[in-house]
Amino acid sequence: MHFSKITEKDIDDGKYKGNQRNIMMIVGNGFDIDVLHFLNKPGTRYSDFVDYIEENESDDYKTNNNLYQKLKKGKEDKKWSDLESDIKTIIEEQLSKTNEEDFEKGLIKLKNDLKNIKTTFAKFLRKQVTPEINSQVVENANPHDGKELEQNENKESNYPVNAVAKFLGDLTPDDYRKLKFKKYQTRHESQSLSNEEGALGYYTLYNWLFVNLNYTSIFDNCFDFNKRFFDPFRNKSSMTNISFYPAWKQMYDRLLVTRTINGGEGYIRSNKIKFSSYLMSNIIHPHGKEWVPDSMLFGFSSVQQLKVQPQNNNIEKLIKEFIKPLWSVSKLKYEPLFGEADLFIVYGASIGESDAWWWNHILEQLKKNVDETGHQPELIIYNYL
């Protein structure tokens, strides 16, 4: 899988010059928790799921499922990544056994326990995220829908469009100054902004890939940019479909110097600066979807993460049942994306061992030197304490 390369032949409006920026945003359960909290609905926290099992499953289920016995210990302090750590711990405990036959029986038991947990988890998610809740999500994400506003205004001011158009405004002034993402965009030949922060350009294509690590459709309902949210053909003179805002919030009251093609200077308030731009987006679920329960993956990133290493290939083969990147075919599907991304964004995800495959690949790219084109990817983490 690769980021699509959009050429001037694809966008033949005479304005686009191939200036494309690829953004990979990884979204975790924090997004679902925030949205459900905003709607005053029961959440999808780890502890919520354990409570659901306690209330809805039989005593036999709870007594005989070894994985559940680990899940419920310290549930209030645990995150979803801890569930996957528990899977790893059980495997390590099995590896300490010297009898390979006992180990195999233990892994088969873990596999069946996990299958039952996944079935219950799918039922839990359907109870927590109903079609009615998804409908409320859409209504709240686009509060202006159907109201009498100026043409296209309602589809510019909804929350998902604002999120991708104004995300630089989420940075602090210091972080904004450090960010190189804004500096190597090509200036449009007839309109440019020049100030101490660097040049930002018109007619840039922002190509977003949303990596949704959640199993629900809450994020998808907001960010698939369907016709209720987004008009892909809003302009008559070009194929641009979004206004990109380059300023951060703390500088919105400042006046910035602008230079015209003739060399003249003028002043403009920073919150009025917006660049006519192009938006493309795609959403993937590498760990599966709750509406396809068997697609949901629980586990960890590699055999090497185990404290006790398997002693032969047969045992390692049994363990691979629980390696998420293997079953998501991540190397083939997703690995090429990292070298093509200009910016990584992480929102609501636990940066731990269970998804280390993703974090390690991002880190590898951040460590690379600037290439001959000036390309050096960067990382923004939304960190809520």
Does some domain include residue 8?
A: no
Q: Which helix (H) or strand (E) holds 210?
A: strand 205-212
pLDDT band at 149; cut points 50, 70, 90: very low
DSSP summary character for residue 379: E
Q: Are 124 and 43 within 8 A, CB to CB?
A: no
The pLDDT of residue 327: 92
The pLDDT of residue 147: 56
The pLDDT of residue 172: 84
Does some domain include residue 316?
A: yes
Could you tell me which residue, 308 or 332, shows the higher pLDDT? 332
Rg for the chain (alpha carbons), in Å? 24
Going by C-alpha positions, the residue among 60, 67, 42, 66 that lies closest to residue 125 is 42
The pLDDT of residue 255: 56
**Tens of pLDDT along 186-201?**
443 334 443 333 345 7
**Tens of pLDDT along 48-81?**
999 999 999 999 999 999 999 988 888 888 888 8
* Average pLDDT taken over every residue of the chain: 83
The pLDDT of residue 62: 93
pLDDT band at 323; cut points 50, 70, 90: very high
Region 333-358: mean pLDDT is 92
Determine the structural domain holding residue 322 and report its residue range. 20-382
**CA quadruple 172, 177, 181, 185: dihedral, nearest 10:** 130
**Tens of pLDDT along 258-282?**
555 455 566 556 666 788 899 999 9
Does some domain include residue 40?
A: yes
Does some domain include residue 3?
A: no
Does some domain include residue 264?
A: yes
Counting residues of the chain whose pLDDT is more than 70, the rounded percentage is: 83
Amino acid at 152: N
pTM of the model: 0.87
- Select, from the ranges 3-12, 303-312, 361-370, the one with the highest average predicted confidence (pLDDT): 3-12
CA dist list (Å): 345 to 95, 323, 381, 382, 383: 37, 24, 6, 8, 11
Does some domain include residue 11?
A: no
Does some domain include residue 1?
A: no
Strands 242-244 and 191-193: unpaired
Could you tell me which residue, 58 or 235, shows the higher pLDDT? 58
CB atoms within 10 A of CB 321: 15
Does some domain include residue 14?
A: no
Question: Into how many domains does the chain fold?
Answer: 1
